[in-house]
Amino acid sequence: MRAFGKFVLSTLVAGFLVLAPIYLAALLLLKALKSLIDLVQPIAKVLPAWLPAEPILALLLISILCFVTGVGIRTRMGQAIWEHIEKSLFQRIPGYALFRSLAQRMAGKSEETAWKPALAEIEEALVPAFIIEELDDGRLTVFVPSVPTPFAGAIYILGPDRVHPLNVPFTQAVKAISRWGSGSKDLVAAMEQKGR
């Protein structure tokens, strides 16, 4: 009964960690649209009445702001400003670094070594894992996810001889975990190819 309660709790937490950012992003977008509708009303009155101009113009304005911000961040000065804001404000928010790293991995845009798919040797078995960091002495911190919730699990510190990095995308490893191990043969094959 205790194991079932732990499973239910870890599954609820994992679901929350996936759905909460999506929900908050949707709320933020709706709030931004609502506040910008007042700003675009004078322009909307010029357009035909049959066109839902206010929400379209508000969404267009948000898209332009996102684009301009993206262009600004790609400059050297914009990158420096963003890094300062991120370090002084966002890094203090619990879970921000985790969500940022996961979002970058899911989008395939991360160059970090964190969350690199691997197979770890635990109790005479290979288990899907993610390399989180390398310690100064060469050992690795690995996260071994629970099945089928890849964002809940256990942390291990293992020697490099017990951790086998995989040459597969992050999303492929997450998919195998969330499908109760279906597709693990591809993970093992990626490990075996590295060893040859």
Q: Would you write out the chain's pLDDT as a tens digit for each of its 196 residues?
A: 677 766 776 676 666 666 776 777 778 777 877 777 777 777 777 777 777 777 788 888 888 887 888 888 888 888 888 778 777 776 666 656 666 666 655 555 555 556 788 889 988 888 888 888 888 998 999 988 887 776 778 889 999 999 998 888 777 777 788 778 787 778 877 776 554 4
Q: Are 150 and 187 in contact (CB under 8 A)?
A: no
Cis status of the peptide bond prior to 148, with omega within 30 of 0 = yes
In the three-class reduction of DSSP (H, G, I as helix; E, B as strand; rest coil), residue 105 is classed as helix
What is d(CA 140, CA 120) in angstroms, rounded to the nearest whole number?
A: 10
Phi, psi of 121 (to 5 degrees): -90, 110
In the three-class reduction of DSSP (H, G, I as helix; E, B as strand; rest coil), residue 164 is classed as strand
The pLDDT of residue 158: 92
* pTM, 2 dp: 0.48
The tokens for 76 are 């050297």
The pLDDT of residue 102: 60
The pLDDT of residue 157: 92
What is d(CA 173, CA 192) in angstroms, rounded to the nearest whole number?
A: 16
**Residue 113 CB partners (closer than 8 Å, separation 6+):** 131, 133, 134
What is d(CA 49, CA 63) in angstroms, rounded to the nearest whole number?
A: 23
